[in-house]
């Protein structure tokens, strides 16, 4: 990393909305007003069924491409739960139909067990281990890595595609290029990949530290799950000013596909229509799978520069209906093959400071999604239905899954500051505190490290989850 991206060491200590409002001060193309009244969030993206043997190249987005706005969809949460999301059926890609819904459905083909060594019979994917807890009934879970009792270190390749954006004017000329390059070194040197010291271990990575905190009193002392990062692709996606969208009534409208603004550090941020983003993301992941860049045995990451997703406003298609999604994780699978290939994939954006309130910056989204992928790689880890912290007791804002970042993202102290020194330069990162497995168990006590329910900030969640009100 370069000296210009570092500064001298100093001391300092995303589904549903976060109370802290965005604070971007910008010269912009409409983005400032949008982001200033928005809150960062995340979505739960469905698995995608693909046939890599038929999707030999990334389909091009043309002026005749039409993206389908799903019936009954209002927000990005709805869009990413539809069949392969947005419009890939119109693009020429060969995406077979996938599951109609996916919220811990035990009928889905994920209820397979792995031995201590981590290989699930019938799946070609990353090493995993299984466990269960009881709260009125049994809840099984699958996590990335070898079983804590097995000990030793499991190395998981982190295959990274860095995405830059070329934004077009309405006439097709280039409006602006938004590169990922300024954030590459900082991302690769972040706590997601570089070592730091935690209560759960010294010289370890962030997601490993969270897992070790969960199983601290039962794990073998040398148990670790370690990511080995490698940039396998650098691509530039061209984004048109407008895109065609078919509404549920069959009518086709030309809608605004992006807005921009300038963050306080001078970097451009991009707000992109979630339908169009989903088109790009699906096609890019399939392209990386076909090229051998993304692997079944890896955690595959598509990383974007200050790119946040907004939902279509059905009443006024040229203004956002909601903003801003910063990341998600999912997996791609090939049906009809045994063992079934599964490519775990995630999107996360770099976040310039000042856009989403204090501490919600740099790799907050990447840490959120990476830890969630570790704890719920196949999105089928069901839990008792839990109420989000900090909301009124009768609000019924609830989830029923093991998404460890979501309960904390709504809190004012969602992130922690970690200083990472690399080549005599220091940068203060802001990964997100995660809810531990024990929080979802709803017990009166926790058998995690220090009896905690969250980590690294053990005070963020002082007790276990509260059940969703009846």
Do 144 and 225 form a contact (C-beta atoms < 8 A)? yes
pLDDT at 410: 87
Contacts of 134 (CB under 8 A, 6+ apart): none
pLDDT at 85 over 90: no
Contact (Cβ atoms closer than 8 angstroms) between residue 305 and residue 164: yes
Helix intervals (H) in 271-332? 274-290
Give first-to-last CA distance, the chain, whole Å: 52
pLDDT at 13 (0 to 100): 27
In whole angstroms, what is the distance from residue 274 CA to residue 385 CA? 27
Q: Is the pLDDT of residue 148 over 80?
A: yes
**How far is Cα 432 from Cα 409, in angstroms, rounded to an integer?**
8
Spatial distance between the Cα atoms of 342 and 274, rounded to a whole number of angstroms: 24
Which of 225-229, 317-321, 397-401, 425-429 has the weakest average pLDDT? 317-321
Rounded Cα distance, 39 and 289, in Å:
33
Residue 44 CB contacts under 8 Å (≥ 6 apart), including other chains? 15, 77, 80, 81, 328, 379, 401, 403
Among residues 387, 394, 391, the alpha carbon closest in space to that of 442 is found at 387
Say whether pTM exceeds 0.95: no
Whether the Cβ atoms of residue 219 and residue 203 lie closer than 8 Å to each other: no
Question: DSSP class of residue 351?
Answer: B
Dihedral sign computed on CA atoms, order 255, 324, 466, 452 = positive
- Residue with the bigger pLDDT between 336 and 347: it is 347
Q: How many CA atoms within 13 Å lie on the side-chain side of 19? A: 11
**CA angle at 437 for the pair 403 and 39, rounded to the nearest 5°:** 35
- Cβ proximity of 167 and 240 under 8 Å: no
Average pLDDT over residues 132-155: 93
Q: Which tens digits make up the pLDDT trace of 403-456?
A: 999 999 989 899 999 999 887 789 999 999 999 999 999 999 999 999 999 999
In this structure, the number of other CB atoms found within 10 A of the CB of residue 5 comes to 14
pLDDT at residue 81, rounded to an integer? 60
pLDDT given for residue 422 in this prediction: 80
Q: Which helix (H) or strand (E) holds 435?
A: strand 434-435
More confident residue, 412 or 161: 161
**pLDDT exceeds 80 at position 241:** yes
Q: What is the pLDDT of residue 125?
A: 94
The CA distance from 158 to 53, in Å, is 24
pLDDT at 92 over 70: no
* Mean pLDDT across 354-376: 95
Note the pLDDT of residue 19. 34
Burial of 107 (0-12, 13-18, 19+ CB in 10 A): exposed
Task: Give the per-residue pLDDT at 102.
Answer: 32
In the predicted structure, residue 79 carries a pLDDT above the cut 50: yes
Per the prediction, the chain carries an average pLDDT of 84
């Amino acid at each position: 990393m370069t000296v210009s991206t570092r500064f001298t060491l100093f001391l300092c200590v995303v589904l549903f909305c976060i109370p802290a409002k965005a604070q971007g001060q910008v010269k912009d193309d409409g983005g400032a007003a949008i982001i200033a009244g928005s809150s960062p969030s995340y979505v739960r993206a469905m698995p995608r069924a693909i046939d890599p043997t038929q999707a030999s190249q990334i389909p091009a987005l043309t002026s005749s491409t039409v993206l389908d706005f799903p019936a009954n969809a209002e927000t990005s949460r709805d869009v990413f739960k539809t069949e392969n999301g947005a419009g890939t059926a119109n693009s020429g890609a060969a995406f077979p139909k996938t599951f109609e819904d996916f919220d811990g459905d035990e009928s889905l083909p994920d209820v397979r067990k792995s031995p201590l060594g981590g290989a699930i019979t019938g799946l070609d994917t990353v090493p995993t281990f299984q466990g269960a807890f009881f709260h009125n009934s049994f809840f099984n879970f699958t996590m990335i890595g070898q079983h804590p009792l097995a000990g030793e270190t499991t190395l998981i390749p982190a295959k990274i595609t860095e995405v830059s954006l070329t934004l077009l004017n309405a006439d097709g000329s280039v409006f602006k290029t938004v590169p990922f390059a300024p954030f590459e070194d900082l991302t690769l040197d972040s706590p997601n990949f570089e070592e730091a010291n935690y209560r759960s271990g010294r010289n370890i990575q962030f997601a490993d530290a969270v897992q070790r905190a969960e199983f601290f009193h039962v794990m073998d002392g040398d148990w670790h799950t370690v990511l080995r990062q490698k940039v396998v692709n650098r691509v530039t996606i061209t984004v048109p000013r407008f895109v065609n969208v078919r509404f549920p009534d069959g009518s086709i409208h030309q809608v605004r596909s992006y807005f921009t603004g300038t963050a306080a550090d001078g970097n451009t941020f991009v707000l992109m229509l979630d339908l169009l983003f989903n088109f790009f993301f699906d096609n890019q992941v399939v392209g990386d799978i076909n090229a051998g860049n993304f692997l079944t045995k890896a955690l595959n990451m598509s990383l974007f520069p200050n790119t946040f997703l907004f939902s279509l406003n059905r009443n006024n298609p040229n203004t956002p209906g909601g903003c801003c999604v910063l990341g998600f994780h999912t997996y791609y699978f090939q049906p009809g093959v045994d063992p079934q290939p599964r490519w775990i994939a995630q999107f996360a954006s770099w976040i310039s400071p000042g856009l989403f309130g204090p501490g919600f910056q740099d790799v907050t989204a990447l840490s959120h999604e990476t830890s969630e992928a570790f704890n719920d790689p196949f999105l089928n880890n069901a839990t008792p239905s839990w109420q989000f912290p900090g909301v009124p007791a009768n609000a019924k804002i609830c989830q029923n899954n093991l998404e460890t970042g979501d309960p904390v993202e709504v809190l004012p102290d969602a992130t922690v500051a970690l200083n990472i020194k690399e080549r005599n330069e220091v940068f203060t990162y802001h990964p997100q505190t995660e809810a531990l497995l024990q929080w979802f168990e709803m017990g009166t006590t926790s058998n995690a490290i220090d009896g905690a329910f969250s980590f690294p900030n053990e005070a963020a969640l002082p007790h276990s989850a509260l059940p969703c009100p009846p």
